[in-house]
Amino acid sequence: MTIVRNKDLTAWNTFGLKVSCACFVEYGSVAELEELWKRNRDGLGLPETGGAGDGTAFPSPILHIGRGSNLLFTKDFPGTVFHSDIKFIEAGGESCGITAGETAGDRRTDVEVGAGVLWDDFCRWSAEQGLWGPENLSGIPGETGAAAVQNIGAYGVEAKDFIRMVKCFDCITGKVVAFRPSECRYGYRESMFKTSAKGRYVVTSVCFSLSSGPNPKLEYGNVRAAVDKALEDTGKSLTPALVRDVILSVRNSKLPDPAVIGSAGSFFKNPVVPRSDYERVASIARIGHSDDCQVPHFDTGSGFIKIPAAWLIEQCGLKGYRDGNAAVYERQPLVIVNLTGEASPEEILAVEKKVSDSVYSKFGIRLQPEVEHI
């Protein structure tokens, strides 16, 4: 267990913003988390409460983070940041809660992963084992616990598609609990851990149900074409490792490496709007281009259409837009970057406002941030 006062958080947010917190606590096991709760049970899990006032209290508010890959610190954090360093990857049904008379399927393998394991390390491990499931999500920064909270997604796959169970520490009762995916209320980049139960549960590990038989998901965008080309060029067979390599190549061609250029990945959610709003966007696009202009979209059913936020931003001429040390990434307008490494939170917020206001002014659609503001 590590406890540090006045901790520099520059390395703990992928934007690379120079912010700090009053206290930083890192624990390496559920037992250590339980010990922390017993010492400070009045303030461990609820952001609005303080400590116990007995000299062991941690400054409030309380924030649990992974690697800060989906966070925008808007200023120094006045409270305590908790981080899980629980790291393990274990294959086997018993640890994932399979009981007598229950099976995950003859060609399924259940794997439990500690919340502190880097997500891409788990993706690499799965591919090396020949297990299908997370390969399309390769390269996404952050940790496994945060992946379950955020319901990360990319290239037609979401984490919820192969999550079997999420194990958590309940900061109210001090007990370890587990939730099935149906109980997590997963949605588009959403879960109960971000909404109704925010602050109550700390993810300690995630159980995944992976396929040991071929189960590629290649229908999104140009993924199938890229995979077919890789098969032809390499002469290799279709495996999770090959799909992972293709996904990493596609991501690297579009998205900045946070280790080089600070960012939080996709900054905005793709708006899901009524068909009437989509028709308005299409009409505006035809005026700006030509009558045969096609707006990229995905029909979600029930009269709602998903429009790529990146397309809307680019139509506003903001690809590569810069304000001081912050900018819209020149290769992917869905990403806001700390271009020089010296951006302040205020500069990132200014670019966010510029993008949001411009899209609303042109198309009447207000983009919602995917990145959590702290």
Asked if residue 328 lies in contact with residue 320, where contact means CB atoms within 8 angstroms, the answer is: yes
Element (H, E) at 107: none
Per-residue pLDDT tens digits for 92-102: 756 666 443 34
Give residue 1's pLDDT: 87
Q: Order of strands, edge to edge, in the sheet holding 77-84?
A: 2-8, 20-27, 77-84, 62-65
Task: Report phi then psi at 306, rounded to 5.
Answer: -95, 125
| Known catalytic membership, residue 370 | yes
Catalytic residue among 69, 263, 266, 358: 266
Q: Order of strands, edge to edge, in the sheet holding 163-170?
A: 89-91, 108-114, 201-211, 163-170, 176-179
Per-residue pLDDT tens digits for 56-69: 578 889 999 999 99
Three-class SS of residue 109?
A: strand
H-assigned helices in 59-201: 119-128, 144-150
**Judging by DSSP bridges, how do beta strands 2-8 and 157-158 pair with one another?**
unpaired
| Known catalytic membership, residue 266 | yes
Catalytic residue among 39, 189, 224, 286: 189
Per-residue pLDDT tens digits for 127-154: 999 999 999 999 999 999 999 999 999 9
Which residues are CB-neighbours of 229 under 8 A, at least 6 positions away?
none
pLDDT interval class at 164 (50, 70, 90): very high
